[in-house]
Amino acid sequence: MQDHNASTTLRVRQAEPSGKAVGDAVADATDALIRHQQDDGHWVFELEADVAIPSEYLLLHHILDEIDSELEAGLAAFIRGRQGKDGGWPLFFGGAMDISCSVKAYFALKAAGDSLDAPHMRRAREAILARGGAARCNVFTRILLAQFGQIPWRAVPAMPVEIMNLPPWSPFHISRISYWSRTVVVPLLVVMAHRLRARNPRGIDIAELFIEPPERVRNWHSNNSRGGWATLFRALDAALHAVEPRLPTNGRQTAIDRAVRFVTERLNGEDGLGAIFPAMVNAVLMFHCLGMPPDHPDAAMARRALRGLVVRQPGRVYCQPCLSPVWDTAIICNALLETGSPRARAAARRGADWLIDRQILDVEGDWAWQRPGLASGGWAFQYNNAHYPDTDDTAMVVMALQRLDADRYGEPIRRARDWIVGMQSRNGGWGAFDAENQHDFLNHIPFADHGALLDPPTSDVTARCVMMLARLGEGRDTVPTRRGLTFLEREQESDGAWFGRWGTNYVYGTWSALEALNAAGVPHSAVAVQRAAQWLLAHQRADGGWGEDGASYWAGNPRGEGPVSTASQTAWALLGLMAAGKGNHPAVDRGVEYLLSARDAEGLWSEEPFTAVGFPRVFYLKYHGYAASFPLWALARYRALRA
C-alpha cells in the first residue's frame, strides 16, 4: 500500500535536486526529442491500445479470406505476449481481464492456428468461462461473433439502417451522437442490414467458450437495469427486431445509399474514415457487403488506410487504433519551448510550420450541424481528418504558436480562437469534437452498452480551451473564459480533484484544471486551487512519483492510485503543483528526483502502464510520446522557477 502522506509527513526538507542535474536532464531530453523529429518537422510516436485492435485486424482477414500468414503470425505473437496472469486479456497494462477483449483475443489466436490444448489457450478458456462465457460480451464483440455465425443475429440489438432516413430533429439522428460513434455506426448499419457472414476459410468456431448454446440464450442484454430509459429501450429493441424484416425495401435502399454517401464523403484518403480503426474496419466491411471487389478505388483505399496503422518491428507486430502526429507535435513543441534554448526553439518552429499546413480552413465538418455558419479553423488529431477537428488539439497547437511567434502566426491563431469560442457549449464547457453533445438518454439504448456514445463537455478539454484563451490575453473578465471557469468550478470533485476524460485520470484532470486557473489569473490562495494542490500532495507515492491506473474510472475504486509511478503522470502532478504556487514544496523536489532517476539510456523516459483513455471503462490508450515529452516540460518549468 502506498504512503499517500509521504510528502506531508517530512519533518526536514531534503536537499533540492542540483541545478546541474536538472539542466543536464533537460539538455539530454531536448537533444533526444530533436533526434526523433521527422524530416518535415513533425513528431509521431506509437499509439497503443489493448489487444482487441490487433485481434480484430487478424479476424478481418478471415472475414474477407485475405489471410497474410506472415502478418498473422506477428499479430498472434503480440496477442500472446499481452495475456494477463489471470488468463485473460486486460484493457490496460496490469488491469483485470476484460471478457470482451479476452474473447476476441482467444478467437484470433485460434484462427491463427493455436492449439486448444496449449497452456495459454486453456488458461484463457477457463478464465472466460469462469466469468460467464462469451455470451457476456459487449455489443460490438457480439456483432463480430454474429458475423462468424457463432451467435444468432437476434443477440445483437436492433439498429435498422433506416436510421439514416430520420430527420435532423429526430431524437435518434446521427448528429446527436459523437464523431467516433457516428463514423463507426454508419457503415456498421449497412453491414448489419446485410447480415454479413464471414468467409472464415479455416472454419474456426469458439463453441467451447459458451456455457449455454447460443441458440438457447434468451436474454442478450448487457444492461439489465430497471431504470426507466433502459426498460423503455429494451421494449423498443424487441419491437424493432419484430418489425425490421417487414420494413419497406425502397426505404431500406434509400437508407443504405445515404450511409454509403456519408462514408465516401468522409473516406479521408489513406488516412481512413474518421482516421480511427473501428470506423475504418467497418468501411472495409461495408464495401465488401456491397459487392465491391478489393481493387475498387474506394475499397482499395479503405484497405490501404488500415494497413497504415500496422507497426512492423523485429519481434513486434501490432495494429494501432489511430495515429497521433498533430497531438504529439503540439505537445512536444510546448515542451521544447519551455526549455528556452535556441536549438529547442528552432525545432519547435519547424514543428509549428508543419502544423500550420494542417489547419482545417476549407471543410465544414460535422461540428457545423450544431454550429452552422461558424468558420472552420481547428486542427485534427491525425495527419488528415478534415471533417473532425477537435478543440483539445487546436488549443494545444495555438498555445505553441502563441508562445513561439504570435505575430508570425497571427492569422492561424485568430481563426483557431474564433472556432474554439464558437464551439463552447451552453453550459460553459467544451467537448472534444462537437458542441451540445449531451443527449444522455442515448447512452441507455441497448446498442450503447459501452456508455460512450456521446461527447459532452469535460473538465480537461475545457481547461485546455480556457488556458488557450488566457494565453491570448482573454482573462477572467472576458465572457468565454469566465464561463469556462464557472464550468470548472462546478466540475471540481468533493475531494478537490478534477475528473480526467482523455488522460488517466484525476491526476490528468487536476493538472489540466490547475494550469487553466493559473493562466486565467485565479489566485493561488483560492480555495479551489488549494484543495486541488492538497489532493495532489496527498497522492504522491513513496518513491516521489505519481501513478494512477484505469481502475479509477470504476465507481468505488481509489482515485489517484495505481501499482507504480509513471513518468507522464509524475510530470502532470508536478506541473499542476507548480501552477498552484507550490514550486518550492518538498514534494516537488521529490517528484523531480523521481524523474531524474527514471531516465533511460537515451535521456528520455518510458513507461509500461497506459496513462490515457479512449472511453473510460471500455478503451484505454498508451501514448508512447507522453513519457518522452511531459517530463521535459515539467523539468524545464521547475528549472525556470528555481532560476
Residue at 7 is within a domain: no
Q: Are residues 334 and 289 in the same domain?
A: no
User: Domain ends where: 288, 319, 350?
Assistant: 319
Residues 401-424: tens digit of each pLDDT:
999 999 999 999 999 999 999 999
**pLDDT tens digit string along 325-336?**
999 999 999 999
Specify the DSSP element, H or E, that contains 516: helix 506-519
First and final CA of the chain: distance in angstroms?
A: 36
Question: Which grid cell sits at 63?
Answer: 472475414
Same-domain status, 309 and 330 = no
Domain boundary among 286, 319, 352: 319
Instruction: Give the three-class secondary structure for 340.
Output: coil
Strands 612-615 and 47-48: unpaired
Q: What are phi and psi of 315, to 5 degrees?
A: 75, 10
pLDDT given for residue 139 in this prediction? 94
Question: In the listed set 319, 339, 357, which residue is the last one of a domain according to the structure?
Answer: 319
Q: Is residue 3 situated within a structural domain? A: no
Residue 359 sits in the same domain as residue 382: yes
Residue 10: inside a domain: no
Domain assignment present for 280? yes
**Domain membership flag for residue 282:** yes
CATH number at residue 431: 1.50.10.20
Q: Tell me, what's the pLDDT at 4?
A: 44
Claim to verify: residue 28 and residue 64 sit in the same structural domain:
no
564 with 435, same domain?
Answer: yes
**Confidence band, pLDDT 50/70/90 cuts, at residue 7:** very low
Residues 33/628, Cβ–Cβ less than 8 Å? yes
Same domain, 314 and 429: no
Residues 162 and 236 in one domain: yes
Number of domain units in the chain = 2
In angstroms, the CA 540 to CA 206 distance is 45
249: Cβ contacts below 8 Å, ≥ 6 apart? none
Q: Which residues are catalytic?
A: 392
Q: Are residues 305 and 335 in the same domain?
A: no
**pLDDT at 83 exceeding the cut of 90:** yes
Q: Residue 243's pLDDT is what? A: 74
Q: Residue 36 phi/psi, 5° resolution? A: -80, -10
For 53, 58, 113, 277, the CA distances from 69, given in Å and listed in that order, are 18, 10, 11, 21
**Rounded Cα gap, residues 27 and 34, in angstroms:** 11
Regarding whether 464 and 375 lie in a shared domain, the answer is yes
- Global pTM? 0.95
The pLDDT value recorded for residue 263 is: 98
Q: Is it the case that residue 2 has pLDDT exceeding 70?
A: no
Considering the domain architecture, whether residues 313 and 327 belong to the same structural domain is answered as no
> What is d(CA 452, CA 456) in angstroms, rounded to the nearest whole number?
10
- What is the residue-averaged pLDDT of the chain? 94
Judge whether 5 lies within some domain.
no
In a domain, 573, yes or no: yes
CB count within 10 Å of CB 538 equals 17
Confirm whether 308 is domain-assigned. yes
484-494, pLDDT tens digit by residue? 999 999 999 99
DSSP for 46-88, please give it. -EE--THHHHHHHHHHHHHT---HHHHHHHHHHHHHT--TTSS
- The domain of 243 spans 48-214+225-319
Whether 32 and 76 share a structural domain: no
Are residue 382 and residue 286 in the same domain, yes or no? no
